[in-house]
Amino acid sequence: MPIFAFLYRSEVLLGRLRADRPDPAGTAAEFEPTEAFEEVRPPFEKAAADPDGGWLHWLAPLHLSLVFPDGTRTGDFVLRLDGQGARVTWSREESRESGE
């Protein structure tokens, strides 16, 4: 499966997302964490266990972003991890060039 996005915290690469047909409305993907992901794993686990959908509470303070192969970046997304599987949605409208 090809890489369709990279997960970053500031300039630190946390992982890669792979999917055959990525769609902003919702994509099932494979998540390949880097060693740096271990630092943020606990908030992801807390968000996954939160019955109220704790994305904003647990993960928004981390200032994460998705960066796409074409260089666009968005902070307007939701990523749920389950082992090496992931479910991600994002907004095309919030994307901007990575240099801005």
Q: Give the pLDDT confidence score for residue 45 in this predicted structure.
A: 85
Domain boundaries, the chain: 3-97
Please state, for a pLDDT cut of 70, what percent of the chain lies above it: 87
What values do phi and psi take at 54, rounded to 5?
-70, 25
Q: What is the pLDDT of residues 60-69, one digit of tens each?
A: 888 899 999 9
Averaged pLDDT, 11-32: 94
Question: Which is higher by pLDDT, 95 or 7?
Answer: 7
Tokens of 28: 């099932």
- Rounded distance between C-alpha atoms, residue 84 and residue 30, angstroms: 6
Global pTM?
0.84
Averaged pLDDT, 6-14: 95
Q: Is 89 exposed, middle or buried (0-12, 13-18, 19+ CB in 10 A)?
A: middle
Quote helix, strand, coil % in the chain, to nearest 5.
Answer: 20, 40, 35
Nearest C-alpha neighbor of 62 from the set 12, 27, 22, 21: 12
> Quick check: helix, strand or coil at residue 59?
helix
Q: What is the pLDDT of residues 31-56, one digit of tens each?
A: 999 999 999 999 888 888 887 766 77
